[in-house]
Structure 1
Amino acid sequence: MPDDLNSVNMESGGARSYHHGALREALIAAAEDLIAERGVDAFSLRETARRAGVSPAAPAHHFDGARGLLTAVAAGAYRDFGDALAAADDSASSRTARIRAQGMAYVRFALANPARFDLMWRRGLIDGGVPDLKVAADRAFLILDRAARGAGEAMHGSDDVQRAPSIAAWSLVHGFARLALEGAFGGEPGAAERAAETMLPRVLDHLDL
């Protein structure tokens, strides 16, 4: 019997069955649920395995410890994040409209996925050199970069001066997202979303692009 299946917890109320090869995805889903519930700093590989219905040793078949599993969660978050930015970009035409649309998508993603969004930037907990993570993160930045610098300019040059418009847009939107997540715009339900709708476009108007 494959190790993945042999490690399934068959205790009462905790039994789950996996097709061969599905354990990796099950562990990622369990890790996402755990950090959504408890926050990134309360992540536990043992608790993730328990929630997935497998033995504490089972994650080692697919991940190099907690860092490896969290890196996989972050890579998935970056892919979804990039998809959200790309969808927003496709809905706009002018440079200003593209930046506004992506800015709103950025903040909405953060508000809808606070734990995953937090993990994406926790470089002490994830391995930024893993190809899946790097490709997904680079893609997300390139989508923003193309809007900030113009569709053709993003492909030419990557020094700090040339990237300044993109960094400026990124800094404003990311800072707004962090403020919204931390309750700076009010703690009542919907306050952060309303602030994004009403204030973020005006904040972005201050960009000198």
Structure 2
Amino acid sequence: MMEVWALSTSTGSGYHHGDLRAALLDSALALLDTEGPGELSLRAVARHAGVSPNAPYRHYRDKETLLAALATRGYTELGERLAEAAPGDDPGAEIVAMACAAVGYALDHPGVYRLMFGQSCSTHPDAIAASDTAMAFVADRIAAVAAPERREALLTGIWSLVHGLSTLLLDERLGARTRAEADALVETVVRTMLGTGLERPDGESGAG
């Protein structure tokens, strides 16, 4: 039997045909960024997408399934940004660029970013796989600039730093900053960590 997805009379993204799953995710992402996960529901997503209330259940059996799909999409898009940011000629510059790209993604999509790292759906197998793919890309670039014994610690340090900066900037704990100011801050902090920021200045002895 041919299935028909009735259009909602409410205003929204005005879905008419094509990829229903993608349209639902687009609507869920928009609502997540403006309303947060607590207010997200399959009914609200259907209304925003302009489809019947029952339409989302074809692809998502419940809210948790939808949130897991959003987290998976978030990790996938983050991985794409990381790959696009890496210039390919200077490994050190690649790491700085990827850090800025990761923080930029958090600032562009605060709702899905918080979902990716703060909700139980981030343990969904698809979300874990997408996260592992993004992390593997970063680990590969770090392998180009760090000795084997330092790679794991450097990866953990950079990821922790990026996540911390993202959270601090989203919460405005570092003050309200423009995107350019945020990018400059991330670049300065990451370059300091990668550089010689913790080494003793020339001329200082190690004696107490």
TM over 0.5: yes
- In structure 1, runs of 5+ residues without a counterpart are 155-159
Aligned-residue sequence identity (percent) comes to 31
Identify which of 82, 86, 109 aligns with 1:85.
82
Which whole-Å CA distance do the structure 1 matches of 2:147 and 2:175 have between them? 38
Instruction: Flag the structure with larger Rg.
Output: 2
Aligned pair count reads 197
Matched letter for residue 175 of structure 1: G
Which whole-Å CA distance do the structure 2 matches of 1:198 and 1:152 have between them? 19
CA shift, 1:86, in A, is: 0.8
Q: Secondary structure at the match of 2:57?
A: helix
Q: Secondary structure at the match of 1:6?
A: coil
Which whole-Å CA distance do the structure 1 matches of 2:197 and 2:124 have between them? 29
CA shift, 1:140, in A, is: 0.6
Does residue 1:175 correspond to 2:187, yes or no?
no
CA shift, 1:194, in A, is: 4.4
Q: Secondary structure at the match of 1:134?
A: helix
- The question of whether the paired residues in 2 share the 8 Å contact of 1:107 and 1:177 is answered with yes
Deviation per CA, 1:84-129: give whole Å up to 9, x if none: 111122x043432222121111111111221121121134144521
User: Superposition pairs for residues 161-200 of structure 1, below 5 Å?
Assistant: 163-190=152-179, 191-200=181-190
Which whole-Å CA distance do the structure 2 matches of 1:204 and 1:197 have between them? 10
CA shift, 1:47, in A, is: 0.8
Identify which of 66, 69, 72 aligns with 2:69.
72
Which whole-Å CA distance do the structure 1 matches of 2:177 and 2:135 have between them? 31
> Which residue is equivalent to 1:101?
97
TM-score (norm 2): 0.79
CA shift, 1:206, in A, is: 6.1
Structure 1 residues 70 and 162: alpha-carbon distance in aligned structure 2, compared to 1, 3 A threshold:
same
CA shift, 1:18, in A, is: 2.8
- In structure 2, runs of 5+ residues without a counterpart are 199-208
TM-score (norm 1): 0.78
Structure 1 residues 92 and 79: alpha-carbon distance in aligned structure 2, compared to 1, 3 A threshold:
same
Q: Secondary structure at the match of 2:43?
A: helix
Does residue 1:18 correspond to 2:20, yes or no?
no
> Which residue is equivalent to 2:39?
42
Deviation per CA, 1:39-92: give whole Å up to 9, x if none: 233222211111112222221111121111122222222121111111122x04
> Which residue is equivalent to 1:112?
108
Identify which of 125, 128, 134 aligns with 2:128.
134
- The question of whether the paired residues in 2 share the 8 Å contact of 1:31 and 1:48 is answered with yes
- The question of whether the paired residues in 1 share the 8 Å contact of 2:15 and 2:49 is answered with no
Q: Secondary structure at the match of 1:183?
A: coil
Which whole-Å CA distance do the structure 2 matches of 1:88 and 1:169 have between them? 16
